[in-house]
Amino acid sequence: MKISSNNYYTYINQETKKISENRQISKNFSDALTATTASKKNTGTAQIDFTKMSNIEMFNWMNNQVRNGEMSLDESFPFMAMTIRIPVSGNVTELTHEKINFIEKIRDGIAGARSRNDENTLKMLEKAMAVIQRFQGRAIGVDAHA
């Protein structure tokens, strides 16, 4: 049996690649956050707009609401379901920066639940719509430098 250091280099290269990929994801998130912050500086106050929100923004907003105690885990379920993309292959894809009209998405879901007589989904989506209506346009930060 021959012991070789080649496996060590392969492992290190794989780990280096993972670190590089994680840094790129971090950079992309940082760039998106900077762009969002820059657009907020124009108005002085950032407001929630569910008609033009990305999956990442929705996910972060939902997490903050749960963390702050303004939303229960049960209330967060439909928002989690709206942010995750599960293609036919079954592999969950990454959250994206693509802007989505979540209000329209919920309205479509409500219409679909009614057409299928799916009372559980209907109730869940109606509650989600009530939460969105409660928060739509609410200030999420004040820019003291504006």
Bridge partners of 15, per DSSP, are none
pLDDT of amino acid 93: 67
pTM across the whole model:
0.59
67 and 122 fall within a common domain: yes
pLDDT of amino acid 3: 55
Write the DSSP string, 8-76.
Answer: HHHHHHHHHHHHHHHHHHHHHHHHHHHHHHHHHHTTSEEE--TTSEEHHHHHHHHHHHHHTTSS-HHHH
Evaluate whether residue 146 is within a structural domain. no
Low-confidence residues of the chain: pLDDT under 70: 1-45, 90, 92-93, 139-146
Which residues are CB-neighbours of 124 under 8 A, at least 6 positions away?
A: 77, 78
Q: Which domain holds residue 87?
A: 47-139
- Both tokens of 117, joined, read 């007589």
23 and 94 fall within a common domain: no
